[in-house]
Amino acid sequence: MAAAMNGDNNLQVKDLQISFTTYAGEVQAVRGVSFDLRRGETLAIVGESGSGKTVTAKSLMRLLPEANTLIKGGEAIFEGQDLLKLSEQRMQKIRGSKIAMVFQDPMTSLDPTMRVGKQIAESLKKHLGLSGQRAKERAVELLTLVGIPNPEDRVKQYPHQFSGGMRQRVVIAIALACDPQILIADEPTTALDVTIQAQILELLRELQEQLGMSVILITHDLGVVAHTAHRVAVMYAGKVVETGTLREIFYNPQMPYTWGLLASIPLPTADRSQELIPIPGSPPDMLDPPKGCPFTARCPYSMRICADEMPEYTTFSREHKAACWLHHPMAPNVEPPVRVGGAR
Amino acid sequence: MTEQSPNGNGRALLEVKDLKKYFRVGREALKAVDGISVEIKKGETLGLVGESGCGKTTVGRVLVRLYEPSGGEIFYNGDDITKVKGQDTKRLHRKMQMIFQDPQASLNPRMVIGDSIAEGIDIHGLARDKRERLERVHELLETVGLNKEHANRYPHEFSGGQRQRIGVARALAVDPEFIVADEPVSALDVSIQAQVINLMRRLQEERSLTYLFISHDLSVVKYISDRIGVMYLGQLVEMADSDELYENPLHPYTRALLSAVPVPDPDYETERERTVLQGDLPSPVNPPSGCRFRTRCPQAVEAAAHVEPEWREIKPGHWIQACPCFA
């Protein structure tokens, strides 16, 4: 963990703004997201569906559909260049090689008609210029690295001959093929069973230590976050509402949405007679997002100013900041719900 | 059970004996459920957990008679319902309802939700006239935390959490005693999950419902269930009161399953020891002989392959599939 903290930045995202044009109007999916990714760390981006976490990740890989995506502003600096402004040709040199991505559903990210070995060798030949024979050998090495037994036989098989967990290992092998500096994992274990999830999370953690890459982990599962991440960014309605180290977010959260998230999940260690504290209502419509803090309508502590103006970030430590009016000097003093911080 | 669980008065509403459900796959049989015996007491919540493919959904579906069982008996209030036919089936269906995982797929997109909810009322003739039917729909909507104005809207106009509330209202429409909830909150965001779980708990108290709660999410199951059964490859491997199961798991599979669940607490996560299971679930078409878990079991002994493990109560209320590896 210490190694993860002192590294310099690998990626800097500043004020990212992305909208989609639809028949109904402009959906403002990401509204000013900024974060840094340090070398060798795992940054978890958490939030509910529709909070903009996947859109943020896909925009870094330039995987959003060009026809209806509007990049309205911001930059993503990687190796001194802005990923959002690169030509498609130059982006192809980075995508899948220096920055790789693992998606939620391993079945849809593999080609069902192509042998697994060939799918891994593809990027080796394209990005690293390996010969066919050498690429095949490397494919076997990669399958060994991700813990697939009998790799020599397995490279000749098709995806349907693999189980879900094994398929996700193949997808990870493909992502790791070119030794990426950044791995973006979008809900990598959501489609898997817990025992398989444990295997994949363990694998990702080992690989990260071994290969020293930075990981952006996108997930809605706070358990997975607690297990894997060094730092956390909490997203809500297209904005990062709180960010901090793992411990800061779990034990000293400073924003009612983060409180709500933590209080609404049942802990296996918790007392069953205690009611869960749900977050009332549902997230705002991103066709017409509120101009103030987007959480206002669901927030039990909301004040008049919350609906009118988006709060600035308040900084609590080197890493920890949150956007909430409760931290304004004139705001009333509010105690977070009991369970937060005293999770055990 | 000697100790009373908080819910449940001790009388069995449902008694399942050696239940089997095989599906034909080509020339072979897929043994989705292979000999399960369990009692569900009136007013309690029995949780059923296990990995995908372990047969938990099939158990739920057989119990509400969506599937015909291939073997075994199911007693509901003392009557064997596997033999029920005709009009009696209809009467039975009124007492047992199901809530499905995907609220989007379980509602007809071309029907306003008022009509979807009223389907059961119509089938069972529970309303004398249109006014009473409408009143009941409105009442149900309010019970699950929606407005009566919502009755004229279509499913796509609702969010996932609201749709699941509609699913709950639909199940309640016929005033059932027993509800099988198959992964009812798995498709929902965490903040919405809690709303639906609290709703289900409240309804259980108000209407003394009995639940079979099927889920792969062990934290949610523990939170809502009085007792929990753990399934592996079509069989129950352990069953106990929820707290007992979490504090004192005996079967190696239960232990591995519990240790695999990531807990949203960083300190707990760094300190805990994990048993990471090797390999995947074997095929239910050709399950391993003897103890089915032996191919992945960290403490398997050779004898496990030859001895069919016995389902027995090792202390009051705590049942286990006793296999030679640890018995």
For the stretch B103-137, pLDDT in tens is: 788 899 999 999 999 999 999 999 999 999 999 99
The gap from C-alpha A81 to its chain's centroid, in whole angstroms, comes to: 22
Compute the distance between CA of residue B321 and CA of residue A338 in angstroms, rounded to an integer. Answer: 40
B40: in domain: yes
Of A53, A60, A58, A72, which is closest to residue A235 (Cα–Cα)? Answer: A53
Compute the distance between CA of residue A228 and CA of residue A41 in angstroms, rounded to an integer. Answer: 10
**Inter-chain contact A198–B260, Cβ cutoff 8 Å?**
yes
Of B98-102, B227-231, B250-254, B264-268, which one has max mean pLDDT? B227-231
| Structure confidence by residue, pLDDT tens digits, B201-258 | 999 999 999 999 999 888 899 999 999 999 999 999 999 999 999 999 999 999 999 9
Closest CB to A195: pick one of B162, B219, B257.
B257
> A220 to chain B: which residues are within 8 Å by CB?
189-190
B290: in domain: no
Which residues, 6+ apart, have CB-to-CB distance to B175 below 8 Å? B94, B126, B207
Q: Containing H/E element for B199?
A: helix B190-207
In CATH, the architecture of A2-236 is 3-Layer(aba) Sandwich (3.40)
Q: Among residues of chain B, what percentage have pLDDT more than 90?
A: 61
Tokens found for residue B121: 């009322």
A182 - beta bridge partners? A99, A214
Compute the distance between CA of residue A72 and CA of residue A225 in angstroms, rounded to an integer. Answer: 30
CATH number, domain containing residue B66 = 3.40.50.300
Residue in chain B lying closest to A230 (CA): B266
3-state secondary structure of A342: coil
Question: What letter does residue B14 receive in the DSSP assignment?
Answer: E
Select from A265, A275, A340 the residue whose CB has the most chain B CBs within 10 Å, as the one to mutate to test that interface: A265
Tell me the average pLDDT across A116-126: 92
pLDDT surpassing 60 at residue B2: no
Task: Answer yes or no: are the C-beta atoms of B166 and B220 closer than 8 Å.
Answer: no
Residue B90 to residues A149, A312, B53, B125, B169, Cα–Cα distance (Å): 52, 61, 30, 11, 19
Q: What is the pLDDT of residue A7?
A: 52
pLDDT surpassing 90 at residue B320: yes
> B198 to chain A: which residues are within 8 Å by CB?
275-276, 278
**Inter-chain contact A227–B269, Cβ cutoff 8 Å?**
yes
Q: What is the pLDDT of residue A344?
A: 40
Rounded to a whole number, what is the distance in Å from the CA of B126 to chain A's nearest CA?
A: 32
Residue in chain B lying closest to A249 (CA): B266
State the average pLDDT for chain B.
89
Q: Among residues of chain A, what percentage have pLDDT more than 70?
A: 96
Q: What is the pLDDT of residue B204?
A: 95
* Widest pairwise Cα distance in chain B: 68
pLDDT surpassing 60 at residue A199: yes
pLDDT surpassing 70 at residue A4: no
Q: What is the pLDDT of residue A135?
A: 94
Q: What is the pLDDT of residue B243?
A: 92
B257 touches chain A (CB under 8 A): yes
**Inter-chain contact B260–A223, Cβ cutoff 8 Å?**
no
Question: Domain total for chain B?
Answer: 1
**Which ipTM did the prediction report?**
0.81
Q: Among residues of chain B, what percentage have pLDDT more than 70?
A: 96
pLDDT surpassing 70 at residue B9: no
Task: Answer yes or no: are the C-beta atoms of B227 and B297 closer than 8 Å.
Answer: no
Tokens found for residue B104: 């989007």
| Structure confidence by residue, pLDDT tens digits, A213-245 | 999 999 999 999 999 999 999 999 999 999 999
Task: Answer yes or no: are the C-beta atoms of A177 and A142 closer than 8 Å.
Answer: yes
Overall residue count recorded for chain A in this entry: 344
Q: Which amino acid is at B71?
A: G
B134: containing domain:
12-242
DSSP per residue over B162-195, as a string?
HHHHHHHHHHHTT--SEEEEESTTTTS-HHHHHH
What is the pTM assigned to this prediction? Answer: 0.87
| Structure confidence by residue, pLDDT tens digits, B170-180 | 999 999 999 99
Question: What letter does residue A134 receive in the DSSP assignment?
Answer: H
| Structure confidence by residue, pLDDT tens digits, A35-52 | 999 999 999 999 988 899
E-state strands within A246-324: 313-315, 321-323
State the average pLDDT for chain A.
90
pLDDT surpassing 90 at residue A310: yes
Of A186, A177, A311, which is closest to residue A257 (Cα–Cα)? Answer: A311
Q: Among residues of chain A, what percentage have pLDDT more than 90?
A: 70
pLDDT surpassing 60 at residue B7: no
